[in-house]
Amino acid sequence: MNKVTLESIFNKVLSKEVDFCETFEEEAATKVYRLLNSNLDKINYNYLKGIGIRIANNSDIVYGYSNKLDDNSINNLVDNLTKNFSNNRKLFNITLNDLKIYKTNVKINHNKMSDDKKKEYLYNIDKIARSYSDKIVQVDASFYEYDQKVTIANNSSNYVEDNRIFTRLIINIVAESNDKQTNSMKTFGLSGGYELLDTIDIEKEVILLAESAVKKLTAKSCPSGEMPVIIGPGFGAVIFHEACGHSMEATTVALGTSVLSGRLGEKVASDKVTIIDDGTLNNYWGTTNIDDEGNPTKKNILIENGILKGYLIDELNNRKMNMNITGSGRRESYKYAPTSRMNNTYLAPSIDKIEDMIKSIDYGIYATNMGGGSVDPVTGDFNFAVNEAYLIENGKVTDMVLGGSLIGNTLDILKNVEMVSDDLSFDTGFCGSKSGSVPVTIGEPTIKVSKILVGGN
């Protein structure tokens, strides 16, 4: 949509008694190459193009979207959205600023790597995994390419465009023996192109996954009960994403219903806990130049040495909270109104040694690989899955165990973080919430939690 058309939309909307208007245009293509049964099985291609319009007057908010972009359809959408706002006697003549264009820093664009090269890489993953053991019965590996262009304008004359490129590799290896089946999965992703592959030692990673899937075939069941747990680096940070990240999003904080509402400046976690959400980390999977409200992303310190320092705040929730926006307004697509969300959330490293963590435990588990989870941000009750874990008995790591989960409450877990190591690493995922599913990075060093409820047999 050109600038003149956008300005006419703004002028039409502002002829009503409204104090906020925003347009979000999006054009996005997703392409997935999937290897299965040692063949390139499918190429899935999805393309979307549409506009979302958000209008507010004080705290009255309406949102509408359409992928019918002709003048008539857009006019109908605007009429439908503004019909309940009273007329404004003032005349407006909004002039948008010159378009400011951002783009992801990319070294190898998706179309700069040939289909043959992509296939060769996926075949190699299959070959390495199947060579590891004849117990490997399936290798499911995919490249995920996402090219998104968003153009955002609002009645403060902001007019910005972000050209985003994301690339991800997903590997899932299935092992089978005596009718027992296990799997191990890992993802690698960045905000960028196929330079992603330069960051992966693929042979090492695939062998580790295959080894894990095969070892699980003979693993014991996870023990159960409340016990100390060491959580490995990287995806282990899902504990902080679920346990406290969601509770710091303005969606529930502004309503005063989050377990962390109204607690700024309070000590909510152990001294070892410093949690940061940073949308600016160079080329990380959860990084964008601007958020989906057109504001530059930021580094936001949420908890510092156990003290609650801030929340994640979007444009409209800042009205309710009277606090500065944090560049955290995100949405899956034009089909969602944005709200405050996490980008790259991590626990800052400290100085504890993993050997000391293990030695300090008589009976517990060492969760080396975590799955996803979920949280109720109001009560703070959360859960997440353990994909791979080992028993700790008398200060030593012993047998592999599997099939467990960890559950607890945000406020308890934050206080029970007893030790934090220095091996900070990051993993990638998608986070689902009110404004849809968005790419996020989570990171943490290895930590020891003094007690948490473990589900097992």
Partner 1 sequence: MIDELLKLANSKNIKIEVFIDEDETVDIETINDKLEKYESSSTDSYRIKASYNNKIVTINTEDISNPETIINNIINFSNALDKEEETTFARNIDIRNNIKEKEVKDYKKIIDDLISLNEYKEKYPNIDNINMYYTDKYNKVSIINKDAKLIDTSNINYIYGEIVWKENNINQTGSFNVISLEYDFAKIEEKFIEMVNDVKDKIKAVSCKTNKYNVIIKNSEVFKILSRYKDMYDAEQIRNNLSPLNKDYNKQVFSNKITIVEDPLNTSLVGTRIFDMEGNATYYKELIKDGKFITKLYDNRNAIIEDVKSTGTSGGVRNMYIVPGSNSYEELIKKMDNGIIIDSLEGLHAGANAITGELSLQGAGYEVTNGKINKALKLIIMQTTLKELFNNVIDIGNDLEIFSVTGGSPSILFNDITIVGKE
Q: Which of residues 204-243 bind partner 1 (CB under 8 A)?
A: 222, 224-226
- The residue range among 101-109, 275-283, 294-302, 366-374 that interacts with partner 1, by the rule CB under 8 A, is 366-374
Written as one string, the DSSP assignment of 255-312 is: TT-STTTT-TTSB-S-TT--EEEETTSTT-TT--SB-TTSPBP-EEEEEETTEE---B
Q: How far apart are CA 387 and CA 372, in angstroms?
A: 9
Q: Contacts with partner 1: how many residues (CB under 8 A)?
A: 76
Cβ–Cβ under 8 Å, residues 123 and 35: yes
Burial of 62 (0-12, 13-18, 19+ CB in 10 A): middle
Instruction: Please report how close the Cβ of residue 350 comes to partner 1 at its closest, in angstroms.
Output: 27
Pairing of strands 344-347, 436-444: parallel
Specify the residue, 183 or 280, whose C-beta has the smaller distance to partner 1. 183
Structure tokens that stand for 14 in this block: 């502002």
Q: Which of residues 274-313 bind partner 1 (CB under 8 A)?
A: none
Q: Which of residues 308-347 bind partner 1 (CB under 8 A)?
A: 335, 337
**Binding to partner 1 by residue 82, rule CB under 8 A?**
no
* Residues forming a β-bridge with 419: 448
Specify the residue, 216 or 448, whose C-beta has the smaller distance to partner 1. 216
Cβ–Cβ under 8 Å, residues 1 and 75: no
Instruction: Please report how close the Cβ of residue 94 comes to partner 1 at its closest, in angstroms.
Output: 23
Structure tokens that stand for 1 in this block: 């949509």
* Binder of partner 1 out of 148, 283, 288, 409 (CB under 8 A): 409
Q: What is the DSSP letter of 395?
A: T
Pairing of strands 159-177, 20-36: unpaired
* Binder of partner 1 out of 1, 61, 264, 307 (CB under 8 A): 61
Specify the residue, 395 or 403, whose C-beta has the smaller distance to partner 1. 403
- The residue range among 195-203, 297-305, 398-406, 435-443 that interacts with partner 1, by the rule CB under 8 A, is 398-406
Q: Which of residues 131-190 bind partner 1 (CB under 8 A)?
A: 137-138, 140, 174, 176, 179, 181-183
* Binder of partner 1 out of 205, 301, 372, 425 (CB under 8 A): 372
Q: How far apart are CA 405 and CA 2, in angstroms?
A: 51
Cβ–Cβ under 8 Å, residues 163 and 100: no
Instruction: Please report how close the Cβ of residue 329 comes to partner 1 at its closest, in angstroms.
Output: 15
Q: Which of residues 31-60 bind partner 1 (CB under 8 A)?
A: 33, 36-37, 39-50, 59-60
Instruction: Please report how close the Cβ of residue 29 comes to partner 1 at its closest, in angstroms.
Output: 9
Residue count of the chain: 457
Instruction: Please report how close the Cβ of residue 239 comes to partner 1 at its closest, in angstroms.
Output: 12
- The residue range among 7-15, 141-149, 306-314, 406-414 that interacts with partner 1, by the rule CB under 8 A, is 406-414
Cβ–Cβ under 8 Å, residues 10 and 22: no
Q: CA–CA distance from 369 to each of 66, 232, 293, 322, 366 (Å)?
A: 41, 7, 35, 40, 9
Mapped onto helix, strand or coil, the DSSP state of residue 191 is coil
Specify the residue, 3 or 320, whose C-beta has the smaller distance to partner 1. 320
Q: Which of residues 110-129 bind partner 1 (CB under 8 A)?
A: 115, 119
Specify the residue, 275 or 375, whose C-beta has the smaller distance to partner 1. 375
Q: Which residue has the tokens 């609650």?
A: 308
* Binder of partner 1 out of 68, 107, 127, 396 (CB under 8 A): 68
Instruction: Please report how close the Cβ of residue 408 comes to partner 1 at its closest, in angstroms.
Output: 7
